[in-house]
Structure 1
Amino acid sequence: MKINAIVALGMASLLLGCQSSENLSADVQATKSEPVMSVADSAHNARNSLDWSGTYQGTLPCADCEGIEVSLTLNQDGTYQLIRNYVGEVSGQFTSQDRFHWDERGSVVILSGEEAPNQFFVGENVLFMLDRQGQRINGQLADLYRLIKQ
């Protein structure tokens, strides 16, 4: 009688073990489904998520002067004021005012009425000047092409 109970218990364990691996195999296959693609949240961008309006200042590199002191004010109504002060031998101050618009992603402002480079990537309390193709400037001087919010 003890032998029958042991055999029955062994058979039950064996059956449960087999059933368990079938479920495990099904779970593994379910886990191996197609990868999940992460999609950028277009509802959150610099235009609607950051406090971007205000005055940004910095000194940009200059090929034939000591630098260009820049003050750029972006207003909530879509207008800007750009003041450039050339420092050194070729000195002079230039002021321009016009409208700006955002790129389709809402992360770059484009200054109307200005020749390229006239685009700035908007970050948290900083503007990064972009090159003529609208790309971030790379290289040793890359950190100098930014304006800090005042």
Structure 2
Amino acid sequence: MKKSIFFCFFLSVFVFAACSATPETSPVAPAAVPDIHNARNALDYEGTYRPHALIPANGLSEIEIRAEGRYSYTTGTGAKVTGNFRWDDSGSRIILDHAAEIPLVFFVGENHLKLLSKGPQEGLVFQKEGM
């Protein structure tokens, strides 16, 4: 009788232990999190920028970008233009809306602007002052 009680006791412990074991699960890859960093939300783009190269008389000699969507630029002749800029959908380019037919489009990088608009200064890089 004592043997059957011990047998039942060990059998029940074994059964409970087997039932409580967690089944192995296959590892699940975490969902890919989209990278939402862009120049608009990740860079300190405000400031004054100057070109790396000599500019033609009608070219841009200085650009100032401010956070509230305002800009000003100075041409080689000393004319100063101010206005509003807007971001493109990607958040990596700013577009200076001004009186010219073709708006000025700049790629915004770490401490620099690169002119993307077609024209004599296309591709010119403007370095942020103080950097």
TM-score computed with the length of structure 1 as normaliser: 0.55
Distance 1:128 1:44, change over 3 A: same
Question: How far does residue 69 in structure 1 lie from its aligned partner after superposition?
Answer: 5.1
Q: Distance in 1 between matches of 2:65 and 2:92?
A: 14
Task: Say which structure is richer in helix.
Answer: 1
**Residue 53 of structure 1: aligned partner:** 46
Q: Distance in 2 between matches of 1:80 and 1:60?
A: 22
Q: Distance in 2 between matches of 1:60 and 1:104?
A: 32
Q: Please tell me whether residue 122 in structure 1 is matched to residue 108 in structure 2.
A: yes
Match of 1:98 among 69, 80, 83: 83
Contact between 1:60 and 1:69, CA under 8 Å: does it hold in 2?
no
Task: Note the residue ranges of structure 1 that are not aligned, 5 or more in a row.
Answer: 1-37, 86-91
Q: How does 1:1-150 map to 2 (within 5 A)?
A: 41=35, 43-58=36-51, 59=53, 61-62=55-56, 68=59, 70-85=61-76, 92-115=77-100, 116=102, 118-132=104-118, 137=122, 142=123, 145-150=124-129
> CA-atom RMSD, angstroms?
2.6
Task: Note the residue ranges of structure 2 that are not aligned, 5 or more in a row.
Answer: 1-31
Q: Distance in 1 between matches of 2:106 and 2:117?
A: 9
Q: How many residues align?
A: 94
Give identity over the alignment, percent.
Answer: 34
Question: How far does residue 68 in structure 1 lie from its aligned partner after superposition?
Answer: 3.4
Contact between 1:60 and 1:68, CA under 8 Å: does it hold in 2?
no
Q: Distance in 1 between matches of 2:62 and 2:116?
A: 16
Contact between 1:55 and 1:149, CA under 8 Å: does it hold in 2?
yes
Contact between 1:60 and 1:146, CA under 8 Å: does it hold in 2?
no
Question: How far does residue 113 in structure 1 lie from its aligned partner after superposition?
Answer: 1.2
TM-score computed with the length of structure 2 as normaliser: 0.62
